[in-house]
Structure 1
Amino acid sequence: MTLDADHPADDLPGEGELPDTIQEPRLWRDNGWTAKVIKNEDDDGWAVAMTKDGEAEPALVGPWTMGRDKKNPKPLDTAAFNTLVKTASEVIRRHEQQLHAMLHKNVSVDIGDERVTVTLDIVPDEFEPYAVLAAHDALGEPLAEVRVSAGFKLNATSAAAWVESGYGKPGAQGR
């Protein structure tokens, strides 16, 4: 940006600060999201990147429509931006659901006439990942909890073996 009488240095955002709202043909920022229309490096078309404020990488990158001149991109507008925000938010939500499903598993087993729910919660520590294996009765009351390898395989067989063993540290049955 060039500084002049219309843009004094005091009015510039500080490092790391972003204006709350920008509504330009190729850059739109509002409600915690930024849409940026970019040249598609793979062909002659255009793409749009949707980035949530504070994130380094876009949550969504997709094709963008050409304008009437068939050379330049169609300008962003309120309707398009709102649709992009909704789509990008859904992508993030699905990613979070998938991650949750990978890190949190549970299985219920019947031991005698008692139903026990066994859960496995993986803690994805960068240096020493591990998991917590826990058991709860039919009312949700905790019965046992033990730290296990992040590679522990929870299934009906391993859960039943753990419960039947008296909740000791699982051995090879969980691998």
Structure 2
Amino acid sequence: MSAPDDEPLHEARLWRDNGWTAQVIKNEDDEGWAVAMYKAGESEPALVGPWTMGRDKKNPKPLDGNAFNTLVKTAHEVIRRHEQQREAQLNKALYVARDGAWLKITLEIVPAEEEPYAWLRAQDAAGEPLAEFKVAASFRLTQSAAEAWVDGGFERPAGRD
């Protein structure tokens, strides 16, 4: 009988604890072994990496608490880097200096499944909103586009929804 998905399980090739599961699997690419780290509720592994052979050079080394904790830490880092990369892809901020003040121009892409769009916004140095328009998700915010938008009095830009 197997343990429910949320109960700790500590076996040689399957270790589950604190919302994570490590599973040692046969490496399809060669004769070695790999370990896959799954976050609870996710069907795809957050991390897959090589796993050490045991002393018999045939079977994998058994999982243990130290190895599991290291794998959890590494998987957390991988997820965090993916989230940071995704955030950078969806959000951009530029600054434009006008009349001795800095204006912050941002583009926030909303990745809706059917029709993605973006918000183009301008704020003054105190963070007060100056303008906001819904634009196409494909809108390219460049330094020259931001400066032209500011110089044009924040008129609705081309490439809007």
Same structural fold, with TM-score higher than 0.5 when normalized by the shorter chain: yes
1:170 aligns to what?
157
CA distance in 2, matches of 1:56, 1:111: 50
- Establish whether residue 155 from structure 1 lines up as the match of residue 142 from structure 2: yes
Q: Give the 4+ runs in structure 1 shifted more than 3 A.
A: none
1:64 aligns with 2:59: no
Q: CA deviation at 1:89?
A: 0.3
Aligned partner of 1:90 among 77, 94, 111: 77
Instruction: Determine the C-alpha separation between the residues in 1 that align with 2:91 and 2:7.
Output: 37
Contact 2:9 2:17 in 1 (8 A): yes
User: Equivalent residue of 1:163, what SS?
Assistant: helix
* Distance in 2 between residues matched to 1:19 and 1:125, nearest whole Å: 32
- Between the aligned partners of 1:122 and 1:19, the Cα distance in structure 2 is 35
Contact 1:124 1:130 in 2 (8 A): yes
Question: RMSD of aligned C-alpha atoms?
Answer: 1.5
Question: Are 1:38 and 1:46, in contact at CA under 8 Å, matched by a contact in 2?
Answer: yes
In structure 1, the partner of 2:41 is 54
TM-fit CA distance, 1:114: 2.4
1:137 aligns with 2:87: no
Larger radius of gyration: 1
Deviation at 1:118, TM superposition (A): 0.3
Deviation at 1:19, TM superposition (A): 3.9
5+ residue gaps, structure 2: none
Stretches of structure 1 lacking an aligned partner (at least 5 in a row): 2-11
Normalised TM-score (structure 2) = 0.95
Deviation at 1:167, TM superposition (A): 1.3
Cα shift at 1:153 = 1.0
Identity %: 63
Count of residue pairs the alignment pairs up: 160
Q: TM-score, normalised by structure 1?
A: 0.87
